[in-house]
Structure 1
């Protein structure tokens, strides 16, 4: 019997064993520091003739592994699956399965539809029938993100640009996953911006499970503060890092960690040379002199007039 090298405890805890037996290292989505943000999540999967039965099984494994990374529940993430080829079939709605086990069992029962690739029709059906409150989507007032993940290996046989734009305009964030022969331009037409964060491509269905960790990084909300911090007052998570803030009335010190009571400085601004007062005095004096000169000129004219009158007598 061959022996398996014993792993250190941290490494063993951080391994994810997928349904196919592939081990992916990293933090599991069940870690207390990692929780996916609540989503209304709809998978739109291509099961056209080009997707061989074995490949379609790998798509289902990918979906099941994705579900394992999420917090699933009535108040957390809800999941639906839309299956398409020449026709479109909603396999189950957001309201139908509210536990991981139930969702994975439903995924396991999905059968391929074969024939064509009507991707635009599938997006429209998801928008009109899956992302609605009647089907289990939360109302807009709840501010729950609506996310669609499209998985395809071909070129759409219908138009996707307009219907994708309409879906995005309605508030649905679209991720496009292309496999093997997938038309990359169509992926870009479907996906939300920025494209570098919403378009993924893998060469074969055999490696599609690698995208699980990519989506975990995108959909999983890391609470960096919960992992430990040295902020004196308030820790604020920002992606995979954090920064410190102070309570009202305090300011953050240069170390960006500790806080000091805010000092209120009262500054009295004085003019050392009293220039404004001096100018005001000069203006007032000049005005007074002008008035005196005017009066003196008037007196002088009167004296001259009297002298002229006396001279004529």
Structure 2
């Protein structure tokens, strides 16, 4: 289960964080095909103002992918009492068209029947006649702000049994146990829960990275292994890893404070298997991800944390 920053801090910096994420962004560089279906809660509890924030959140996810019939397709269904397809998987053949559709997404209103909506996308959207490609990876992303008024266990199990990898993003009044029940295991990759809509900006990068890894699938590139943190000072520490068995062009090292903050990254020569992170905050814990890279493609991350000394 991933959570956002504390509510007061998230609210204070939401606009700045969202603009920074949009400005920097990230790209999911892969030749893999994937069909991603977004299932968006449009019930009355969301509200029109918050629904605009949800649109921005979805746009940020879309921006990361190469959209097209030979790459990633993204469809969207909105639900409350009665779910409806806003556009099918193959409706938008390029990123510009898809982003325009997201910007124009209307707010529905109604009750929260998540189980009904999960059945709907299985029966109506994850179908070849609706644009699904048989060999593409299948991913579903639920975005909801409340507890469902119907059963979600059976509908989510049916989707997973049919090969759909499910992510669940909960906001404000979402039920944590229900999110975990819906999402694919493990929870720490597929389940997110934030205190308010403004805090969506604090999880968008992490969610997008995990989505990208799901789209690429296992085995595209072997990741480094055995992350070790050493030589800790109050402003730095060394990160070391073991190389993969296959050759790489370089490594990408990415790090950011566990408490929230700017994500930074740099490249490391393929002949090196360690580097020092400098200019860190004293007695602060950082998330560290190390990727193998070949040309513009990268592996799943080798994940860890490191903490500076006093």
Same topology, TM > 0.5 = yes
Asked if residue 23 in structure 1 is aligned to residue 84 in structure 2, the reply is: no
Can you give the 5+ residue segments of structure 1 that lack an aligned partner in the other structure? 1-17, 242-313
Match of 2:41 in 1: 46
Q: How does 1:210-289 map to 2 (within 5 A)?
A: 210-221=202-213, 225-227=248-250, 229-230=270-271, 238-240=299-301
Question: How many angstroms apart in 2 are the aligned matches of 1:208 and 1:61?
Answer: 9
C-alpha change, 1:110 and 1:95, in structure 2 (3 Å) is same
Match of 1:127 in 2: 122
Pick from 158, 163, 183: which aligns with 2:155?
A: 163
More strand by percentage: 2
> Which has the bigger relative contact order, CA under 8 A and spacing at least 6?
2
Match of 2:171 in 1: 179
SS of aligned partner of 1:78: strand
Match of 2:197 in 1: 205
Deviation, 1:137, is 0.7
Deviation, 1:90, is 0.4
Question: How many angstroms apart in 2 are the aligned matches of 1:104 and 1:21?
Answer: 17
Match of 1:145 in 2: 137
Asked if residue 195 in structure 1 is aligned to residue 187 in structure 2, the reply is: yes
Can you give the 5+ residue segments of structure 2 that lack an aligned partner in the other structure? 1-14, 224-247, 251-268, 273-292, 303-310
Question: Any runs of at least 4 consecutive aligned residues in structure 1 with deviations exceeding 4 A, and if so which?
Answer: 18-21, 25-28, 221-224, 235-238
Pick from 54, 60, 64: which aligns with 1:59?
A: 54
When normalised by structure 2's length, the TM-score is 0.64
CA RMSD of aligned residues (A): 2.7
Deviation, 1:219, is 2.5
When normalised by structure 1's length, the TM-score is 0.63
**Residues paired across the two proteins, number:** 216
Asked if residue 69 in structure 1 is aligned to residue 61 in structure 2, the reply is: no
SS of aligned partner of 1:44: strand
Match of 1:80 in 2: 75
Deviation, 1:230, is 3.8
